[in-house]
């Protein structure tokens, strides 16, 4: 009988709870069943994945005391404080929904000498990786029912030696700002309108390059889920529920790609993961990939990687959000992970965002460019003194000469349009 089978057998027989009730502390309990603390925790986690909820030792003690009063192994303090240090990876007892783990419990006790509990509530939470996987799988399952883009006739006269790069700084769709507090109003509708107008303007200015690369450098969406927080849980001011914001983000990206298809023969679309929208960025890419499934002129990058790169002739274009690594580290990643492309190119640029202000840093072998945003400041950023300019650009790259042109549209120009 292996370790997991032995623990499950002891649990089913009631021996685990009995031992817990008779043990002086956690170490004595574990010694009695021949496990270290790590082996105990690993076994509980493994059994949890099999659908078996193994209580914490403290909970086993409660269950053991609920039966006939056992004789203690030694006379000890009944507080059992040593068990409080146990890692609560799976501490619950009772029903746990699929995709959740038990994070705690509340007990209504009858009291009296037997300390029997009457009711117990199991509190659960979601494992982030499992939650992400379930969301992505749900979207993919919906794939056959989603609409598909019909192929669009190719534009004529496109220049095969030109690449149009549309780098989109942190768009923050869904951010809410109140004019009296922040100097101007900003909401979901304003963000979408400004972004789409800017792209319309830039596509009209761009030459008929055969290829276009649309780079969302991250934080395209302001909040990452129904809790109106960033991915790490920071509360933010949000206009609308998360499904509404995601729907707007998909619609805005479709508008951008459709406009690019009118000017360019082929469009590659990137959605980098930002600190505000780690999950939403992947949802956006999956939804767009489903929509453009039948359009051979569109390629949606679906990798969950934090760093993308694109080779065009003697040019190497890359992007990462900018919150995870310095410009120097980003250059090192590009040189290491795309070593063959690095050795065969002369012009290399990494587009980043995150800080909302423009910065161009020339490094040995590559240039790192931080992008501005079209989004206004919310209350927190305004209060911190951030006042960066706001614009969007299209960069024109030549396969042999590198960056040869740039067109810019600023927020004042969009307001006047």
Both tokens of residue 202? 């830039």
Residue bearing tokens 């509530």:
121
pLDDT computed for residue 18 by the predictor: 85
The CATH architecture of the domain made up of 151-416 is: 4-Layer Sandwich (3.60)
Q: Is the pLDDT score of 56 beyond 70?
A: yes
pLDDT computed for residue 404 by the predictor: 98
pLDDT computed for residue 76 by the predictor: 40
- Can you tell me whether residue 160 is helix, strand or coil? strand
Angle at 351 between CA 350 and CA 352, to 5 degrees: 115
Q: Which of these, 319, 287, 348, 354, lies nearest to 141 by C-alpha position?
A: 287
Domain ranges of the chain: 3-126, 151-416
pLDDT computed for residue 286 by the predictor: 94
H or E segment to which residue 285 belongs: helix 278-291
pLDDT computed for residue 153 by the predictor: 76
Return the DSSP state at 144: G
Residues 310/318, Cβ–Cβ less than 8 Å: yes
pLDDT computed for residue 82 by the predictor: 45
Among 73-77, 98-102, 215-219, 365-369, the least confident range: 73-77
Residue range 15-45, pLDDT digits in tens: 888 888 888 777 788 888 888 887 888 788 7
pLDDT band at 138 (very low <50, low <70, confident <90, very high): low
pLDDT computed for residue 140 by the predictor: 64
Residue range 312-329, pLDDT digits in tens: 999 999 999 999 999 999
Residues 120/108, Cβ–Cβ less than 8 Å: yes
pLDDT computed for residue 169 by the predictor: 97
pLDDT band at 88 (very low <50, low <70, confident <90, very high): very low
Torsional sign, CA 83, 88, 89, 91 = positive
In this predicted model, which residue has the larger pLDDT, 77 or 340? Answer: 340
Predicted structure pTM score: 0.69
Q: Is the pLDDT score of 85 beyond 50?
A: no
Among 13-22, 121-130, 277-286, 375-384, the least confident range: 121-130
Residues 6+ apart with CB under 8 A from 288: 250, 253, 254, 257, 269, 271, 300
Residue range 229-276, pLDDT digits in tens: 999 999 999 998 999 999 999 999 999 999 999 999 999 999 999 999
Per the prediction, the chain carries an average pLDDT of 84
Mean pLDDT of 277-292: 95
Among 17-31, 180-194, 392-406, the least confident range: 17-31
What is the bridge-based pairing of β-strands 117-126 and 347-352?
unpaired
65 CB-contact burial (10 Å; exposed 0-12 / middle 13-18 / buried 19+): buried
Range from 17-21, 224-228, 405-409 that averages highest in pLDDT: 405-409
Both tokens of residue 233? 């849980």
């Amino acid at each position: 009988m292996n370790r997991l089978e032995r623990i499950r057998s002891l649990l089913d027989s009631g021996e685990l709870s009995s031992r817990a009730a008779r043990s002086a502390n956690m170490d004595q309990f574990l010694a009695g069943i021949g496990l270290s603390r790590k082996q105990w925790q690993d076994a509980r986690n493994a059994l949890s994945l099999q659908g078996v909820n193994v209580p914490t030792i403290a909970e086993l003690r409660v269950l053991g005391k609920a039966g006939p009063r056992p004789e203690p192994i030694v006379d000890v303090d009944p507080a059992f404080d040593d068990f409080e240090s146990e890692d609560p990876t799976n501490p619950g007892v009772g029903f746990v929904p699929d995709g959740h783990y038990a994070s705690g419990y509340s007990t209504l006790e009858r009291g009296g000498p037997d300390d029997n509990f009457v009711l117990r509530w199991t509190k659960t939470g979601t494992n982030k990786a499992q939650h992400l996987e379930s969301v992505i799988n749900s979207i993919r399952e919906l794939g056959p029912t989603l609409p598909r883009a019909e192929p669009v006739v190719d534009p004529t006269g496109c220049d095969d030696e030109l690449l149009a790069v549309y780098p989109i700084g942190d768009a923050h769709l869904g951010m809410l700002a109140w004019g009296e507090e922040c100097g101007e109003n900003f909401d979901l509708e304003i963000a979408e309108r400004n972004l789409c107008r800017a792209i319309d303007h830039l596509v009209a200015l761009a030459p008929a390059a055969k290829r276009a690369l649309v780079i969302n450098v991250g934080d395209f969406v302001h909040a990452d889920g129904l809790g109106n927080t960033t991915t790490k849980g920071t509360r933010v001011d949000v206009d609308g529920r998360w499904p509404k914001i995601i729907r707007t983000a998909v619609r805005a990206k479709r508008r951008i790609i459709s406009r690019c298809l009118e000017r360019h023969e082929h469009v590659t679309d990137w959605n980098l993961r930002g600190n505000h929208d780690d999950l939403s960025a992947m949802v956006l890419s999956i939804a767009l990939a489903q929509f453009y499934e039948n359009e051979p002129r569109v390629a949606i990058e679906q990798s969950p990687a934090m760093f993308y790169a694109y080779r065009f002739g003697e040019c190497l274009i890359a992007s990462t959000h900018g919150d995870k690594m310095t410009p120097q580290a980003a250059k090192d990643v590009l040189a290491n992970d795309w070593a063959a492309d690095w050795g065969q190119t002369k012009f290399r640029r990494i587009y980043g965002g995150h800080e909302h202000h423009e910065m161009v840093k020339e490094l040995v072998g590559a240039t790192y460019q931080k992008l501005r945003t079209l989004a206004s400041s919310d209350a927190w950023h305004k209060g911190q003194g951030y006042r960066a300019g706001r614009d969007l650009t299209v960069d024109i790259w030549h396969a042999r000469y590198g960056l040869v042109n740039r067109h810019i549209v600023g927020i004042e120009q969009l307001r006047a349009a």
